Homo-oligomer: A and B are copies of this chain.
Amino acid sequence: MSKPQLINTVAKMQAQSDTWRGEGLRIGLVPTMGFLHEGHLSLVDYSLSAADRTIVSIFVNPLQFGPKEDFAIYPRDIERDIKLLAQRGVDAVFKPQTVEFYPPDFSTTVEVTHLADGLCGAMRPGHFRGVTTVVSKLFTATKPHLAIFGQKDYQQAAVIRRLVRDLNLDLHIEVAPTMREADGLAMSSRNVNLTEDERRRVPALYQALAMAKRYIECGERDTQRIIGEMRSQIEKELGGDIEYISIVHPDTLEDLSEIAGPVVIALAVRLANVRLIDNISAEPSRK
């Protein structure tokens, strides 16, 4: 176990990546907002196995939080994060300074339309613009060959894939499976902000997704019927404010009324202090 380099400036990060590239080494990037959990670490492990050098970026990006969102209470623990990454054998932690990343006259945005308009994009105006802008900067700062994102943020991954294609970014995006607690809850740094009672009840989200997946595998084609069942189950077991439950095309993210092939079932629920999202892929079994 050797401590990863801690890099705070874009110039130093670019110089390190240039050195690695000059040596013919492949660079993997795992972009995070810190407060790492096993979900992040599974992305790190993927990078460690697929690339020669692994950079983990830690940056709670103010641009992707709305004015009424949880930027202030987003959990942070950089020392614990670095210890976890050292145990894993990560090569560098890139922790940009907000004052360098966003100087006062910062005025550039990178935006993906359409794909970013529905689902979370509809509930969080400007969120994906903040994500695509910061991810563009993280890519130019770290110059990776490979960047790994989690399937839990399904729409984010789709938006970033489109960004990479549209801007001809010369890197590969990998999407790794959602990691879950024993009771099915998708791992998220935000889970720490759940009350005890909420924590006990939130597995209802995964149960509703799993139920929908079974319906689809058993031949149910009517998305509204499935969504209706999910809604009543979540309302009964969890409560909270259901922002959306959608069954969408895996590539276009367009809402489907009928199931005829692979789909993604996605949802977002707002509790007192925490907004949770989750999703699952499903496909009708072939007869």
Residue of chain B at shortest CB distance from A141 = B168
Contacts of A140 in B (CB 8 A): 167-170
Say yes or no: A110 contacts B108, CB within 8 Å: yes
Residue numbers in B under 8 Å from A136 (CB-CB): 167
Give chain A interface residues in 19-40, CB to chain B under 8 Å.
none
A105 at the interface (CB under 8 A from B): yes
What 0/1 pattern do residues 99 to 129 of A give for CB contact below 8 A with B?
A: 0000001111111111100000000000000
Q: In the bound complex, do residue B107 and residue A166 qualify as a contact, i.e. CB atoms below 8 Å apart? A: yes
Closest Cβ–Cβ distance, residue A98 to chain B (whole Å): 14
Q: Which of B14, B105, B110, B166 is the one whose CB lies under 8 Å from A167?
A: B110
Would you call B107 and A114 a contact (CB within 8 A)?
Answer: yes
Question: Shortest Cβ distance from A7 into chain B, in angstroms?
Answer: 13
In the complex, are the beta carbons of B110 and A105 less than 8 A apart?
Answer: no
Name the interface residues of A137-163: CB closer than 8 Å to any CB of B: 137, 140-141, 143, 162-163
Q: Are A14 and B107 in contact (CB under 8 A)?
A: no
A209: interface (CB < 8 Å): no
Q: How many A residues are at the interface, by size bracket?
A: 20 to 34
A102 nearest in chain B by CB position: B166
Contacts of A111 in B (CB 8 A): 108-111
Instruction: Indicate if the CB atoms of A170 and B108 lie closer than 8 Å.
Output: no
Q: Shortest Cβ distance from A112 into chain B, in angstroms?
A: 5
Question: Contact between A108 and B166 (Cβ–Cβ < 8 Å)?
Answer: yes
Q: How far is the CA of A106 from the CA of B136 in the complex (A)?
A: 17
Interface residue? A58 (CB, 8 A):
no
Chain B residues closer than 8 Å to A132, beta-carbon distance: 108
| Smallest CB separation, A201 vs chain B (Å) | 38
Nearest B residue (CB) for A163? B108
Contact in complex: B108, A14 (CB < 8 Å): no
CB of B166 within 8 A of CB of A106, answer: yes
Q: Give the chain B neighbours of A14 by CB distance below 8 A.
A: 168, 170
Residues of chain B within 8 A (CB-CB) of A105 are 114
Contacts of A166 in B (CB 8 A): 106-108, 137
CB contacts under 8 Å to B, within A50-70, are none
In-complex Cβ contact of A108 among B107, B143, B162 (8 A): B162
Q: How far is the CB of A259 from chain B (nearest CB, A)?
A: 22
The 3 A-B pairs of least Cβ separation, nearest first, read: A108-B166, A140-B168, A107-B114
